[in-house]
Chains A and B, each alone.
Chain A
Amino acid sequence: MTKSGSLSVTGYLKLLRANWPGLLLPLVAAGTLGLFGNPLPQLMVILALLFAVLVPKESAKIAPFALLAYGAYGFFVLHALLIWEMQPVLYGFVHASRGAYPGWHTSGPLGLVLTEAVAFMAAGIGLLARPGAPGGGAVRRAVAELRGTGGEPRTVPPLLLIPVIFLWEELFGQQLWFGRQGGFGLESWPQVIAVLVYAGGVAVVVWLPRAAAGLAVAGTVALGLCGVLWLWGVVGGVHWLWANGFSVRLGTDPYSTLFYGAVPLDGGITEPFAAVQAVALLGVGCVLAPRLLTWGADAELAERARALAQRVDGLTTSRSDATETAVAELRRIERDLHDGAQARMVAVGMSLRAAEQLMIANPDAALALVVEARETSSRAIADLRDLVRGIYPPVLADRGLAEAVRNLALDTVLDVDVDVDLPAEPPMPVAAAVYFAVAETLNNAVLHAEASTVKISMKHTDGQLRTRVTDDGRGGADTSRGTGLAGVERRLATFDGTLEVSSPAGGPTIVAIEVPCALSSVKTFSS
């Protein structure tokens, strides 16, 4: 009892150690304590603690994302303090306020808030990027896409466009676009423009992912360059023009709301941050720029590889189907011969042998046996005839597909109107597959459709042998019922052929058979 108890305690500690990031969850929750004055944060801390202790695995999965969210919240705090003059709050280890420390208002605590926010996000990303990290799949996929090893860049590189638009928008003045009070209502035309720019960005990301990735990379490089130029004092002038030109004209507050990334554009001690940002943006842009080319190339290659893989899958399936069908067909022929003609010929031999013995003693009985032998041989011939018809119909062999289909029509109890226009013959295997498809379709029309007339049209256009069988029956054909059409479909699939059935209740039933093929061989018969 004690032993198992101590064992489970060790096991639990091991589990806890393996999932140590989960323990960060209550810490992050504690970070929200200073944000609100009500009991909600305390409750959250208690819940997070319980969660981390009771379900360590799930906590470990959530913790990195909680860190990311908390880091992102840091940026929000920073902006809120600067733009909207939010009440002082506790963020992480910093009591962040704008007005509490006159003279420091953009360098001290706010710089610390920025540092903290970056650190929290870096911690979150670091946790996710660990090999085998819980919840890290998406991050690894994103990294693979950014490195150009994850096939076509469908998600992360195009999505970069949205934050890039945000950074540019900051540079031109958030108030300019989002209104003086930071409201999100459409109060002036700059706001309309801002909304349109974001909507356009989203549209590009969704419909033109490659263009979005290109714009994002170009925007990142340009932002980095802007930062460098600003540090040299060039953009300051440009910005001054912006601030004193457009924003004044638009009636917004110059300077106070303009940012370079996370750094307010009002000079002073924030310059080192701006330098770090500029270098980082330029670096990221320069690393990603050459990938643009390979992304495109990779995307094309990946597309081709995917198409090829699909084709190989299709061929593998149809080949194995064809092999199976062929084997099943041989089995059927073997069985038919064995039970039919072969057995009957044995009977003929036995009758003749008996007749031989009775010839002298009982000529009448011998004669009866000979007659019996003759009748049995007739039946054997009839069996063989049916068998051969099922293997390769004689008219198809003699005259080709068009005449064979006409013969089918003549053999059907329904009135069949045949319109076949083939200048030459399709390859024999294709002809046989199409012939049996038409035969099966006619058979269905006779047995199930209660049709009185059938129209068969067959022509060769755009490298496709197109056959259409229409009956005026009651429709409602269930293609999943019965194996006849399924077998025909499999046989057609060997040649990349298709069979489609349209059969609304009340009719008409239309069966369309299409097989890609060339008409090459010359007709064997000219009538």
Chain B
Amino acid sequence: MSHRRSVSGAKDSTTRHQARPLGGVAARACGGLATFVVGCTGAADVPAVPDLSGLEESYEAPSAEIGDAPAVQAALGSVPELQELAAAFRAAGALIDPIDDARETAGETSGAGIRVQGTIQIQVRCPGSGSTPVYDAATNGTFTLRLAVQNNTIRGSFGADAEHCLASTRLGETQLPIELDGRIEMDLGGDIRFGQPWTRSHTLFSLDGSITVGAATFRNVSARLEPDRFEFLQETARGSVVLFVSDSGIGLRDQTGTWLCDVDAGTCAIL
């Protein structure tokens, strides 16, 4: 599977960020309004799910062999907005929080001896880039997920469509506006079974569109998000490397190992 990427824009801040959950996105549906539609009978269709295994493999085993610290620094320098990108994807990751609500709701249709299948579509009204969320789809756009339900599980791989979805994220003390647009395929690393606890620990993104954070716009990129780590697959002349932002710092993984860099000192060391 090929993943086109391009990066443009200017670096705005180097402060490590803390992801800000998109306020209210995870609000429970219980207080909301549910409408009712009579469905026709027959087994509900299960939508096809994207296969991101190739991309996952690329993250697990980058192909390039960088070899020395200057080359590592050069590779990191090719994405100067890495921390902004990390902040943006963490904010985007929060957009899929309602999956947990859907899991609870759909889970109530299942039970012993019952098989559930079909589709769950979640339309998130994006909160906007202001300090107070404004859930107005016309103003701030939408983020729509289409989940496949099969054998009492929500498939961990799914697609979503962002339409001028505006949100914000925080990088240090700076609040940055984000705009997400296009088709995004995601993989949570495993299926979500009804009736069982679920904690999101891993999200792989493949964006066929753009994500703008601050003044930087990234097009057709992928990313892998874990609770304490953001990874970004970058092509170099020698092959692919994985750039990362973690609690330990910024670094790079290549075919031979993991490099951790001190941004201020401008040094990198292999672990």
A, B bound:
no
Interface residues in chain B, defined as those with a beta carbon under 8 Å from any beta carbon in chain A: none
Chain A interface (Cβ < 8 Å from any Cβ of B): none
